[in-house]
């Protein structure tokens, strides 16, 4: 299973996504016509946490039970008891992981907005949220993450992210 990043902002994987305030571009590669779109519902969300055990920024797609169990253990590593691992039929689904990495305050979030299939393959659209300068936040370490079960569309997925700065005025 291979996950790939679309566009010129692959640095978003290693640094704060706020560095990518605009949607990631295709860097001259046109995805072609849109073939379908999938919007997540509550049943697709396997986990959405503000404080998680995933301290690094990662956008990935998991395609097997062993990787899934390892991620789940890492996600809830500091909690006792850990929530039970949701079952995923990897012959029909993949698990999309969108993790923002560690942040020094509250007010951050990440969501999977949709998965759009183009002629060139599926693209996962993410929205990351950070608090604006006028927001009052708590001085706590957070690590926002969202994990979804998505239909098996391809062996590789691309990612595009859009950062939103939430004003609290």
Number of domains present in the structure of the chain: 1
Domain around 103: 10-166
pTM (predicted TM-score): 0.79
**Residue 106 has what pLDDT?**
94
Does the residue 5 lie in any domain?
no
Dist. CA 33–CA 15, nearest whole Å = 31
- What are the pLDDT digits (tens) for 117-143? 998 889 999 999 999 999 999 999 999
**Alpha helices, DSSP H only, in the chain?**
65-75
Nearest to 88 by CA among 37, 120, 46, 123: 46
Is the residue at 47 inside a domain?
A: yes
Task: Give 19-78 pLDDT, tens digit per residue.
Answer: 333 333 333 456 778 899 999 999 999 999 999 999 999 999 999 999 999 999 999 988
Give the single-character DSSP code of 70. H
């Amino acid at each position: 299973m291979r996950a790939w990043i679309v566009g010129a902002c692959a640095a978003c994987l290693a640094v704060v996504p706020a560095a990518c305030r605009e949607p990631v571009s295709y860097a001259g590669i046109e995805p072609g016509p849109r073939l379908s779109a999938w919007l997540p519902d509550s049943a697709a969300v396997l986990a959405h946490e503000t404080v998680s055990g995933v301290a690094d920024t990662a956008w990935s797609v998991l395609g097997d039970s062993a990787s899934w169990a390892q991620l789940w253990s890492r996600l809830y590593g500091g909690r006792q008891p850990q929530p039970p691992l949701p079952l995923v039929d990897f012959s029909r689904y993949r698990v999309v992981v969108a993790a923002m990495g560690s942040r020094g305050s509250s007010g951050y979030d990440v969501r999977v907005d949709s998965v759009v299939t183009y002629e060139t393959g599926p693209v996962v659209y993410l929205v990351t949220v950070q608090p604006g300068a006028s927001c009052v936040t708590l001085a706590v370490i957070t690590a926002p993450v969202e994990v979804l079960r998505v239909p098996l569309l391809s062996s590789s997925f691309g990612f595009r992210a859009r950062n939103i700065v939430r004003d609290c005025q």
